[in-house]
């Protein structure tokens, strides 16, 4: 076995997966066909839940200072995030995310190989053999598991025989930074689609069009300023002049969802599993959610303590999340196009979002794609991600986020004296944090998975032991 886990694709999802596996003590190899990172890539919108995920891992600090952006749209109808302290976005360059994750994954023990393309694989009962091509020639790697984080046209998915369902409108976007532009700032919906023109300082402009149900040129044709000018004319009806592109990219697609996320020892995550219109700002957030859900389960399987069904829970949980993100993205497209048919609907929705509850529901629906997790207990916190709250622990001031920093399960004992039983059999997998009761958590004790989900709350030893066995396997006896 060369590596316990082989990851095809070194985009943000593959790299975060490798980082999480590394901090769980499982080295992975990441095979990425691109030699270089994209130059000046688009920004990704980091939603508040993802900020929690990165904070727990110490990754947010590594990205440097990122101003909060208290704005979010739903189908280009603007929501008011200033009313919601817990919901906000960060705007982070995707290239910056990839570079940071690559460095951190390598530091955590991953072997990141750029310029290495996965060309095929086969699996058997004991592992996966992967064929790789690089400048020095072809070679093979053997691993226990293969994860396809290889994007929308995933070869790993295709060779696993996993089909995709495609539905709804197609989109065609073009985006880039340009040396000059003879127009004004704007960002919104026009008759032909979405148009954005943002001054970037020093005379540069970031320009973008998104159109729907229009055939994009083939990928073999490089995007140009002329193509963007034609698109601006179609979207706005106006003739605009743009200068030379400093960088430019075209993107096109249709909403797609893989029919399953696992085939034996092969898994898929990120855009390999689901693909939505970028305007909806779900792709990165949902993909990174896949990575953190899968990493600790794979690590448990590699280390030999994964209880039955743990690996299957990845599909059970994340396929629902992918489906809901598809729905949310499609609903957003339905609010945008064709404008002459949806204008009245947009006005109604714009009026409705002035109601705080509607604003809140749409914002949290966008920033936090919830999915059901098998969980025990009647308390409201069960089956949700544990919020970041400060705690007064036996070892001093800390918080729930800090407790999850180790990437292990955590029992929070806030009961001051409940008999939770002997937990020593799980101490190699689960930490116990004793703290004073915390109003926000509203439970005597909680069991939280390494990915932050509360899977049990209560005060009975039997219930806790059962939940620990469900998620962390049998207790060890030594
Ligand atoms: C213009 C634009 C704006 C966006 N804005 C947002 C946003 O605001 N918020 C948001 O959440 N999402 C956004 N997205 C979506 C987000 O960029 C993607 O969801 C994200 O990149 C998916 O990450 P990934 O790692 O799954 O896939 P990718 O980033 O596509 O990475 C896949 C990697 O696999 C590699 N690869 C492919 N095949 C092979 C192979 N055979 N062998 C080895 N390597 C291979 C590729 O080179 C690539 O690096 C946007 C997308 C675009 C295009």
Q: Are residues 146 and 44 in the same domain?
A: yes
Q: What is the average pLDDT across 194-201?
A: 91
The first and second tokens of residue 79, run together, are: 């929501």
Residues spanned by the domain of 422? 390-472
Q: Are residues 115 and 99 in the same domain?
A: yes
- 380 CA distance to ligand 1 middle (Å): 35
Q: Residue 303 — pLDDT band, cuts 50, 70, 90?
A: very high
Q: Whose CA is nearest to atom 19 of ligand 1?
A: 283
Q: What is the average pLDDT across 69-74?
A: 83
The structural domain count of the chain equals 3
Residues with CB under 6 A from ligand 1: 8-14, 31-34, 42, 44-45, 94, 117-118, 149-151, 155, 175, 251, 270-271, 278, 281-285, 287
**pLDDT of 263 over the 90 cut:** yes
Pocket test residue of 53, 278, 318, 369 for ligand 1, highest count of atoms within 8 A of CB:
278
For the residues of 365-399, what is the DSSP string, one character each? HHH--------B-SSTTTTSBPP--EEEETTEEEE
- 410 and 403 Cβ atoms separated by less than 8 Å: yes
Q: Are residues 222 and 117 in the same domain?
A: no
Domain CATH code at residue 444: 3.40.30.120
377 located within any domain: no
Confidence (pLDDT) at 40: 65
Q: Residue 41 — pLDDT band, cuts 50, 70, 90?
A: low
- 187 and 46 Cβ atoms separated by less than 8 Å: no
Beta strands in 264-389 (DSSP E): 266-268, 274-275
CB atoms within 10 A of CB 117: 17
Q: Are residues 143 and 201 in the same domain?
A: no
Q: Are residues 45 and 118 in the same domain?
A: yes
Pocket test residue of 28, 35, 37, 44 for ligand 1, highest count of atoms within 8 A of CB:
44
The first and second tokens of residue 147, run together, are: 């994860």
Q: Are residues 219 and 289 in the same domain?
A: no
Q: Are residues 61 and 201 in the same domain?
A: no
| Average pLDDT of the chain, as a whole number | 93
299 located within any domain: yes
Q: What pLDDT digit, counting tens, does each position of 409-467 carry?
A: 999 999 988 899 999 999 999 999 999 999 999 899 999 999 999 999 999 999 999 99
Length in residues, the chain: 478
467 located within any domain: yes
Domain CATH code at residue 176: 3.30.70.2450
Q: Whose CA is nearest to atom 9 of ligand 1?
A: 281
Among 253, 272, 293, give the residue marking a domain's end: 253
Q: Are residues 27 and 110 in the same domain?
A: yes
- 266 and 148 Cβ atoms separated by less than 8 Å: yes
Q: What pLDDT digit, counting tens, does each position of 396-414 carry?
A: 999 999 999 999 999 999 9
Among 367, 402, 429, give the residue marking a domain's end: 367
Q: Whose CA is nearest to atom 45 of ligand 1?
A: 9
48 located within any domain: yes
Q: Are residues 175 and 122 in the same domain?
A: no
Domain CATH code at residue 356: 3.50.50.60
Higher pLDDT, 306 or 51: 306
Per residue in 307-344, is it b (16+ CB within 10 Å) or e — as a string?
beebbebbbebbbebbebbbbbbbebbebbbeeeebee
Q: Are residues 16 and 148 in the same domain?
A: yes
The residues that bridge with 475 in the sheet, in sequence order, are none
Confidence (pLDDT) at 362: 87
Q: Are residues 335 and 186 in the same domain?
A: no
Q: What is the average pLDDT across 146-168?
A: 97
**What are the contacts of 429-432 at 24+ separation with CB within 8 A?**
429/300, 429/305, 429/472, 429/473, 430/468, 430/472, 431/403, 431/406
385 located within any domain: no
266 located within any domain: yes
Q: What pLDDT digit, counting tens, does each position of 76-120 carry?
A: 999 888 877 667 788 888 899 999 999 999 999 999 999 999 999
Q: Which residue has the tokens 């959610």?
A: 289
Confidence (pLDDT) at 279: 87
The verdict on whether omega for the bond into residue 175 sits within 30 degrees of 0, i.e. cis, is no
379 located within any domain: no
Q: Whose CA is nearest to atom 38 of ligand 1?
A: 150
Atom of ligand 1 nearest to the CA of 251: 53
Atom of ligand 1 nearest to the CA of 269: 26
Q: Are residues 191 and 284 in the same domain?
A: no
Least confident of 98-102, 106-110, 273-277, 365-369: 365-369
**pLDDT of 232 over the 90 cut:** yes
- 297 and 306 Cβ atoms separated by less than 8 Å: yes
**pLDDT of 470 over the 80 cut:** yes
Q: Residue 354 — pLDDT band, cuts 50, 70, 90?
A: very high
Q: Whose CA is nearest to atom 17 of ligand 1?
A: 284
DSSP code of residue 355: S
Pairing of strands 245-258, 28-32: unpaired
């Amino acid at each position: 076995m060369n590596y316990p886990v082989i990851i095809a694709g070194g985009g943000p999802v593959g790299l975060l997966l490798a980082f999480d596996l590394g901090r769980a003590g499982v080295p992975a190899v990441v095979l990425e066909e691109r030699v270089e990172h994209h130059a000046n890539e688009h920004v990704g919108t980091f939603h508040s839940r993802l900020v929690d995920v990165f904070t727990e891992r110490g990754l947010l600090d590594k990205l440097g200072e990122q101003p909060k952006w208290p704005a979010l749209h739903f189908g280009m109808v603007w929501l008011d995030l200033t009313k919601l302290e817990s919901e906000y976005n960060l705007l982070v360059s995707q290239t910056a995310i990839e570079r940071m994750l690559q460095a951190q994954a390598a530091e955590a023990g991953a072997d990141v190989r750029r310029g290495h393309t996965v060309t095929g694989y086969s699996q058997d009962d004991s592992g996966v053999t992967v064929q790789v091509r690089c400048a020095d020639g072809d070679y093979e790697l053997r691993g226990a598991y293969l994860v396809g984080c290889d994007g929308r046209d995933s070869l790993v998915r295709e060779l696993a025989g996993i089909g995709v369902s495609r539905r709804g409108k197609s989109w065609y976007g073009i985006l880039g930074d340009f040396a000059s532009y003879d127009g004004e700032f704007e960002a919104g919906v026009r008759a032909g689609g979405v148009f954005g023109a943002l001054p970037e300082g020093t005379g540069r402009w970031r320009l973008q069009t998104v159109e729907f149900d229009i055939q994009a040129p083939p990928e073999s044709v490089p995007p140009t300023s002329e193509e963007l000018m034609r698109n601006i004319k179609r979207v706005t009806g106006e003739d605009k002049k743009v200068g030379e592109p400093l960088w430019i990219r075209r993107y096109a697609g249709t909403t797609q969802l893989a029919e399953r996320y696992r085939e034996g020892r092969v898994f898929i995550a990120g855009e390999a599993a689901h693909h939505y219109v970028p305007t909806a700002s779900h792709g990165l957030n949902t993909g990174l959610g896949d990575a953190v859900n899968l990493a600790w389960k794979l690590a448990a399987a590699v280390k030999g303590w994964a209880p039955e069904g743990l690996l299957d829970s990845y599909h059970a949980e994340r396929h629902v999340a992918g489906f809901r993100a598809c729905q949310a993205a499609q609903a957003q497209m339905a609010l945008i196009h064709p404008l002459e048919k949806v204008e009245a609907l947009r006005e109604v929705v714009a009026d409705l979002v002035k109601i705080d509850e509607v604003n809140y529901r749409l914002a949290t629906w966008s920033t936090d794609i919830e999915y059901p997790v098998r969980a025990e207990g009647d308390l409201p916190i069960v089956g949700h991600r544990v919020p970041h709250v400060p705690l007064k622990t036996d070892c001093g001031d800390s918080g729930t986020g800090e407790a999850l920093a180790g990437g292990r399960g955590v029992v929070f004992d806030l009961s001051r004296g409940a008999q939770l039983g002997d937990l020593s059999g799980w101490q190699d997998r689960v930490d116990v944090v004793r703290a004073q009761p915390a109003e926000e958590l509203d439970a005597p004790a909680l069991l939280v998975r390494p990915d932050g989900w509360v899977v049990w709350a209560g005060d009975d030893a039997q219930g806790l032991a059962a939940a620990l066995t469900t998620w962390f396997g049998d207790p060890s006896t030594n």
